[in-house]
Amino acid sequence: MIRRSAAVLAATVFWSVVVCVLWVLLLRFIPPPVTWEMAAQAAQQDGITRKWVPLNAISPAMPLAVIASEDQLFMEHHGFDIEAMRKAIDHNEQSKKVRGASTISQQTAKNVFLWPGRTYLRKGLEAWFTVLIEALWPKERILEMYLNVAETGLGRFGVEATARQCFRKPASTLSREQAALIAAVLPSPRRFDACKPSAYVRKRQAWVLRQMGQLGDVMALPTERKTK
């Protein structure tokens, strides 16, 4: 009985890993048809706005803006920013206001593969899928996926949807200021709106623009940036 149970457990783990790897490999080449969050929002809002566009059809200012805003070491780490995690833990132990430390890779893994919620199981799976996408996708694909599946407004997913809704233009022609404005609302896309930015959002937009100016060419390799 023990041997049989162990064999079943081993087979279950093995095939679970195989399915996950194949799933991640498939999505390296095709857009996800839907995500858990999109399905939930569609039910709550009676529909969502979404349009997939490739990374080369998005203004270069947009990936720069989200990296400046969300994860400045994105091109250098392998999915996790250990120093940011340590600082977040220290902050959360001393403050009632919780600070997160999720990288763009972690947010992409959560948005694409997992359901909404805050459980240890989901966080564990988030870490697992983060490792997989960092191993099996290039950084450009992670950015492309993030910019297309991230919630950018109430009922809106991806930067193309918000570019069309708020600025009446495609994401390919977004200015630095408009890209920074979209990035500024990403932490709370249902509370803040790039179409009607509050004073707080404008202040955050200005901060993102300053960070963009300091970062420079984020798509260059880390060794290339250090020699400039």
Say whether pLDDT at 5 is over 50: yes
Residue 89 CA to residue 101 CA, distance in Å, equals: 9
Instruction: Please give the pLDDT value at position 70.
Output: 93
Instruction: Please give the pLDDT value at position 225.
Output: 41
What DSSP designation does 172 have? G
Superfamily of domain 33-219: Biosynthetic peptidoglycan transglycosylase-like (1.10.3810.10)
What DSSP designation does 97 have? S
- When pLDDT is averaged across residues 40-55 and rounded to a whole number, the result is 91
Residue 46 CA to residue 219 CA, distance in Å, equals: 38
- 192: how many CB neighbours lie within 10 A of its CB? 19
| Cβ(38)–Cβ(158) below 8 Å | no
Which of 128-160 are b and which e, b meaning 16 or more Cβ less than 10 Å from the residue's Cβ?
Answer: ebbbbbbeebebebbbbbbbbbbbbbbbbbbbb
Pairing relation of β-strands 49-50 and 151-153? unpaired
- When pLDDT is averaged across residues 191-220 and rounded to a whole number, the result is 92
Query: Which is nearest to 49 in space by CA: 189, 204, 172?
Result: 189
Helix (H, G, I), strand (E, B) or coil at 198: coil
- When pLDDT is averaged across residues 94-120 and rounded to a whole number, the result is 84
Higher pLDDT, 86 or 136: 136
Say whether pLDDT at 195 is over 60: yes
Tokens of 91: 């902050």
Helix (H, G, I), strand (E, B) or coil at 128: helix
- When pLDDT is averaged across residues 21-46 and rounded to a whole number, the result is 93
- What share of the chain in percent tops pLDDT 90? 73
Query: Which is nearest to 116 in space by CA: 47, 35, 62?
Result: 35
- What pLDDT, in 10s, does the model give residues 62-106? 999 999 999 999 999 999 988 877 876 665 666 666 556 789 999
- What pLDDT, in 10s, does the model give residues 173-186? 999 999 999 999 99
Residue 36 CA to residue 25 CA, distance in Å, equals: 19
Say whether pLDDT at 29 is over 90: yes
Say whether pLDDT at 26 is over 50: yes
Say whether pLDDT at 207 is over 80: yes
The pTM for the full model equals: 0.89
